[in-house]
Amino acid sequence: MKKITHIISFGLAASVLLLASCVKDDLYNTSHPGTGKVTVTVDWSEAGVDTDIPDTWTMLMGGHSGTAANGLRTLSHLFEPGNYQLAVYNTPEGIAIDNTTATVATADGNWDGVGTFVTNTPGWLFTYVQDVTVEADSDQELTAVMQQQVRRLSLVIEPTGNAADRIESIEGYLSGVAGTLDFATDTYGAASNVEMHFTKVTDGEHAGKWIATVRLLGIAGDQQKLTATLAYAGGNPQNTLLESDLTEALSPFNENKSVPFALGGTMAETPSEAGVEATITGWKTIEGDPVEAM
């Protein structure tokens, strides 16, 4: 009986060892069984046709960041299981990034007492944010479809009246443009001003009109207003003040930023106690791209 007992015991031990070996192979699918690895592929298909795709970009997750310069990026850190926020972005000229908040560089304005001015030619900012759940013993592959966050704006003015041909310059600024954007929450802030330098169109379907083109992070605040001064040849007539409310016309500006946004309006002059003032009402969206039509 003793001999039989030894044989049975040995057989049970071998079975347990074999089972343990199989269980280990089944449980561990990676070389990092207690953590997770994240690989991100960057997709630029949503970028506008007139933009420049950045050469490098940053990936930020769980306080760990890395810079990539090709389409595929594996974050070097192995993450503990849990919930994280992945942010992918580039840092263009004229825009600073702090975590997920983008801030446009300030600029000198030629208009005193109207508040902060931001640069009217920041680089093209692209961002992507996603909540990620990391599981232990996993290799996750994610695709970041980059969203364009800077949009081109063109304002086209058609002067009227006897002095329209004598206009030598139109200089002004637009208020209510965004100085900051938290791209994780789509929150626009720091309502600022941006200078608008108009030039006369000499060719194309908009010949004779005046156009100003800027690049904006977005609009912010309760009102967007154009204020400008029209100067005439020989100072005759005297300078004309132009003021126009664009709040309603610009209300959709923060959406679909990969498509250039253009508005056109006809300027009407009205007499005032100070002389002659001008305004534009009924701004209309211009189909197509007026910059390309010039």
Q: Which of 252, 48, 47, 42 is nearest to 130 (CA)?
A: 42
DSSP state of 163: T
Measured CA to CA, the distance from residue 155 to residue 118 in angstroms comes to 18
Count of other CB atoms within 10 angstroms of residue 181 = 26
* Long-range contacts of 20-28, Cβ-Cβ distance < 8 Å, separation of 24 or more: 27/137, 28/137
pLDDT for 34 equals 94
Please calculate the CA angle 32-58-92 and round it to the nearest 5 degrees: 175
Q: Which of 51, 47, 78 is nearest to 62 (CA)?
A: 78
Token representation of residue 13: 């031990």
Say whether 6 sits in a helix, a strand or coil. Answer: helix
Length of the chain: 294
Q: For the chain, 294 residues long, give each residue's pLDDT as a single digit of tens.
A: 444 343 333 333 444 444 445 444 557 889 999 999 998 988 999 999 888 888 889 999 999 988 887 666 777 889 999 999 999 999 999 999 999 999 999 999 888 888 999 999 999 999 999 999 999 999 999 999 999 999 999 999 999 888 888 899 999 999 999 999 999 999 999 999 999 999 999 888 888 899 999 999 999 999 999 999 999 998 888 888 999 999 999 999 999 999 999 999 998 875 554 567 788 988 999 987 777 644
pLDDT for 275 equals 62
Phi, psi of 269 (to 5 degrees): -95, 145
Say whether 13 sits in a helix, a strand or coil. Answer: helix
pLDDT for 26 equals 59
List, in sequence order, every residue forming a beta bridge with 273; answer none if it has no partner: none
Place of tokens 């972005």: 89
Q: Which of 197, 111, 107 is nearest to 155 (CA)?
A: 197
Token representation of residue 28: 């561990």
Q: Residue 58 corresponds to which amino acid?
A: T
Token representation of residue 136: 């232990």
What pTM was computed for the model? 0.85
Burial class (CB in 10 A: 0-12, 13-18, 19+), 35: middle
Which domains, and CATH codes, for the chain? 36-90+125-148 (2.60.40.1120), 151-293 (2.60.40)
User: DSSP strand E in 246-287: where?
Assistant: 261-272, 275-280, 284-285
pLDDT for 72 equals 63
| 169 close to 196: Cβ distance less than 8 angstroms | no
